[in-house]
Chains A and B, each alone.
Chain A
Amino acid sequence: MKTGQKQHDAQKKFYLWLAVAAVIHFFVIFASVFFQIWGTDHRLKPKIVSVTLVSLHGSMGSEQAISSPALVQEPQPITPIAPKIVEERPPASKPAPKLATKPATKQIQLNQALARIQQRVDKQTPSTKPSSITTLNSALARIQQKISTSGKPAVAGSVTVADNRTGAGKGYGAGVTSEPYKAAVASIIQQNWEFSKTLLKNSEGMAVYVRINILANGTISQIIFDRKAISEYLNNSVKKAIEKSSPLPILPKEQGGRDVWIGFVFSPEGLAK
């Protein structure tokens, strides 16, 4: 009886230790999870600088570089004008100290020189100021015009046709590609897109914004990533799909033999027009 009681006590002790070990294990696991969450919350996020390399060639390149992606870069032409005005002033003011050092006997010459300087200054100030204002106004007008003409990329679908414009060169108006053509292009790229969502650990909010330049004969001449996803796998799969889709069907006749830019948004959920 006593031996049985002792064994029972030993068993009870062992089960107690088992419970303690289980509790400690789960505590350690939850503590690790907590510290990892805490660590990710308190980690300083590095600034992400997105750089897109765009190769420019032909008239299309200049149009492309100015029109769609970089509206922020538009005020650049304004800045060089301001220093010009500043630079022109010193030559006008520099002769003044030189003249002041000359002897007072040549008063007539001095007066003449001063009159000439005065005239020059009078001429320059009214002429430069309006020119800078007009340049500024014209630049702003150009920006506003471009904002109004450029369409916003649609993000609703998984791969969405985001934007399109004809490659008509700088200063030309943007044409719109026909919807059936865009649908056909999206469908071809969709078919060539080999992508498995299961390989992505976190697909939420992941999207690739890409523009392609299609020549009149349907060849894809250029692929520009406006925004890349964190996953290189997704980026590569998009690039491969587009490269595989070339050549696309010949552009519709209403394009007038000009090349066209079409934008897409690829997301892990799939490809949709």
Chain B
Amino acid sequence: MFESQLGIFGLISDAGPVVLFVLSVLLSFSIVSWAIIAFKFGYIHKSLKESRLFLDYFFEVYNAEKVFTATEKYKQGSLPKVFRAGYIEYRAIDNHADSRQVKARIVRAVKREANAENKRLSTFVSFLATVGNTAPFIGLFGTVWGIMTSFHNIGLTQSASLAAVAPGISEALIATAAGLAAAIPAVMGYNYFVQQISIIERDIEEFSPEFVAALLNEA
């Protein structure tokens, strides 16, 4: 397909089936990693932005009814979701006389929604960690296999000249390069998302009691 003049792509076209398989796996890893990075970046960025706006409004108004109405505008934010869950539970309670039971139910609902939101935020992020950890090793496997084949060919031809050794090794090293190319953005993305998710989780932990207090005051 490619001539040897085409450098890297020429070497890939001459690579063995194992190296090609490794390269295709790494390519698919890279595609999925970038898709996750793009998807998660949009999701988390929107969640942080809407949470900030919601908090501003919440402390400005401090009225459960009004705040609940405002949450319709912030459907992607994590904090508005938690507040909505607590408010819906509060509205579902028929008897508001037993304040302890009401508080317990609201706290439970808020916690459940907080957990669900944490799960939603961290979906697919673990795949980035997997790619970051395994892709270099997969690439290394391809390299080791390629060098093994190269040495086998050298043994068959009984020639250890640079012309006989170099093409096989350079062909094999492409797998390591591809592994690193897939792993580096995945690791960077993973670290960024873990940091952003931890910020959102801390916000939920801190403001959940505030939401519960606001709902109980409403009662």
Q: When the two chains form their complex, are residues A232 and B163 in contact, meaning their CB atoms are under 8 A apart?
A: yes
Q: For the complex, is B27 an interface residue (Cβ under 8 Å from A)? A: yes
B151-174 interface mask toward A, CB cutoff 8 Å, 1 = contact, 0 = none?
001001111011110011000000
Q: Which residue of B lies closest to A15 (CB)?
A: B35
Q: Size range of the interface on A?
A: 20 to 34
B9 touches A21 (CB 8 A): no
Write out the residue numbers on chain A whose beta carbons fall within 8 Å of the beta carbon of B156: 196
Determine which residue in B35, B153, B156 has the highest number of CB atoms from chain A within 10 A of its CB, and name it: B35
User: Residue of A at shortest CB range from B5?
Assistant: A40
Query: Is A21 within 8 A of B38, CB to CB?
Result: yes
Q: Does B30 contact A (CB under 8 A)?
A: yes
Residue ID in chain A nearest B154 by CB atoms: A199
Give the distance in Å from the alpha carbon of A20 to the alpha carbon of B3 in the complex. Answer: 30
Which residue on chain B has the smallest CB distance to residue A231? B163
Interface: A237 (CB within 8 A): yes
A196–B2 alpha-carbon span in the complex (Å): 20
Q: Is A37 an interface residue (CB 8 A)?
A: yes
B203 within 8 A of A: no
* B31→A233 contact, CB < 8 A: no
Least CB distance, B7 to chain A, in whole angstroms: 6
Contact B159–A237 (Cβ < 8 Å): yes
B34: interface (CB < 8 Å):
yes
A14-53 vs B, CB cutoff 8 Å, 1 = contact: the mask equals: 1001101110110000001100110010000000000000
Whether the Cβ atoms of B161 and A236 lie closer than 8 Å is yes
Q: A25-B31, A36-B6, A202-B3 are in contact. Are A20 and B38 (CB under 8 A)?
A: yes
Of the candidates B6, B30, B34, B159, the one whose C-beta lies within 8 Å of that of A33 is B6
B interface residue count range (under 10 / 10 to 19 / 20 to 34 / 35 or more): 35 or more
Are B32 and A21 within 8 A (Cβ)? yes
Say whether, besides A21-B32, A25-B30, A194-B158, A233 and B9 are in contact (CB < 8 Å): no
Residues of chain B contacted by A22 (CB below 8 angstroms): 31, 35
Could you give, for residues 15-56 of chain B, a 1 whenever the CB lies within 8 Å of some chain A CB and a 0 otherwise?
A: 000000000000100111011101100110000000000000
A178-221 toward B: CB 8 Å interface, digit per residue (1/0)? 00000000000000001110110110000000000000000000
Interface of chain B, main secondary structure: helix
When the two chains form their complex, are residues A198 and B39 in contact, meaning their CB atoms are under 8 A apart? no
Measured CB to CB, the closest approach of chain A to B211, in angstroms, equals 20
Closest CB in chain A relative to B163 CB, distance in Å = 4
Q: Which parts of A125-150 form the interface with B (CB within 8 Å)? A: none
B14 within 8 A of A: yes
Interface status of B124 (Cβ within 8 A of chain A) = yes
With contact pairs A13-B39, A14-B35 given, residues A196 and B4 touching in the complex (Cβ less than 8 Å): no
**Known: A21-B34, A33-B6, A36-B9. Is A199-B157 also a contact (CB below 8 A)?**
yes
B209 within 8 A of A: no
New A-B pairs, 12, CB < 8 Å, besides A10-B43, A201-B11 = A17-B35, A20-B35, A22-B31, A24-B34, A32-B8, A33-B2, A36-B9, A196-B153, A198-B153, A232-B162, A236-B161, A236-B163
Q: What A residues does B31 contact at CB under 8 A? A: 18, 21-22, 25
B6, B124, B153 interface centre (most CB from chain A within 10 Å): B6
Please give the distance in Å from B75's CB to the nearest CB on chain A: 8
CA distance A14 to B43 in the complex (A): 10
Complex: A236 Cα to B35 Cα, angstroms: 50
Question: Could you list some 22 contacts between A and B, CB below 8 A?
Answer: A14-B35, A17-B35, A21-B31, A22-B31, A33-B2, A36-B7, A36-B9, A40-B5, A194-B158, A194-B159, A196-B153, A201-B4, A201-B11, A202-B4, A202-B5, A233-B157, A233-B159, A233-B161, A233-B163, A233-B164, A236-B159, A237-B157
Q: Are B39 and A14 in contact (CB under 8 A)?
A: yes
CB pair B14–A201 under 8 Å, yes or no, is yes
In the complex, chain A residues whose CB is within 8 Å of the CB of B164:
199, 233
By a CB distance below 8 angstroms, the chain B residues around A20 are 35, 38
A195 close to B157 (CB less than 8 A): yes
A203 and chain B: residue at smallest CB distance? B4
Residues of B within 8 A of A236 (CB): 159, 161, 163
By a CB distance below 8 angstroms, the chain B residues around A21 are 31-32, 34-35, 38
